[in-house]
Amino acid sequence: MEDLLKNDFTAYYDLPVCDEPNLTIQTNEPYFEIEDNALIKDIALHTKIGAGMARFSNPKSAPVTVAKYEKFITSLPNFFQRSRKRCDIIVCDNGNNLILGEIKDSPNIKGRRKEAKKQLYESLITLLAVPQFIELTNLKTIKRCCYFNKRPISPAGITATTAFNRLPEIFKDGFKMNFPAIEENNFEYWEYSGNQTLTL
């Protein structure tokens, strides 16, 4: 994945080769969470429940690569990244899974979903222009664009947020939603909220 982004992607778009270090994280943990850390402006991986924002179950302990797509785009020349929407991560295992992910855990949720969907769709279109990415998608059968939204915390004694967010407690697998523009490109659109976990 790192080679695909640093070399193939940049070559396709006629950009200088990217020399940004640490663009990917490797793991084979059976459970991990990904955090988009706004303070250090980087993606971090955690194995402690609740430490991250996007939850993954990897029951076969398969080797998984998490590519920091937003960090990669940000490292490219300004003329290319200007106005270009980008999602946070690409998650790819050695099996059938290829996941584009956008992670949100910030105040002012309203409108974030809309923005996340745009980021995911435009990232997909940018990536699908690269022949080597198309080759990769041809090897995968589970192709998803995923919006991960961490459940907010409410003040002690206030149960309203918990009450309004009970649906993700009932359905642990995330929701596959209709998004024709993404489906036209043979990907699915999924939403994960709170404790909902993506099983690879």
Q: Where are the alpha helices (DSSP H) in 30-173?
A: 69-74, 78-81, 112-128, 131-139, 160-164, 167-170
Least separation in angstroms between residue 36's CB and another protein is 12
- Answer yes or no whether residue 191 interacts with another protein by CB under 8 A: yes
Least separation in angstroms between residue 15's CB and another protein is 31
- Answer yes or no whether residue 109 interacts with another protein by CB under 8 A: yes
Residues of span 69-98 touching another protein by CB under 8 A: none
- Answer yes or no whether residue 28 interacts with another protein by CB under 8 A: no
Residue with tokens 């907010």: 152
Give the C-alpha separation, 192 to 194, whole Å: 7
- Answer yes or no whether residue 156 interacts with another protein by CB under 8 A: no
- Answer yes or no whether residue 21 interacts with another protein by CB under 8 A: no
Please state at what angle helix 131-139 crosses helix 112-128, rounded to 10 degrees: 100
CA 176 → CA 4, 99, 103, 170, distances in Å? Answer: 28, 13, 16, 15
**Which residue of 17, 38, 40, 156 would you call a contact of another protein, by CB under 8 A?**
38
Stretch touching another protein by CB under 8 A, among 48-56, 58-66, 133-141, 154-162: 154-162
Least separation in angstroms between residue 199's CB and another protein is 12
Give the C-alpha separation, 45 to 121, whole Å: 24
Q: How many CB atoms lie within 10 A of CB 141?
A: 10
Residues of span 120-139 touching another protein by CB under 8 A: none
Residues that bind another protein (CB under 8 A): 38, 106-110, 113-114, 149, 152-155, 158, 160-161, 164-165, 167-168, 171, 173-178, 191, 193
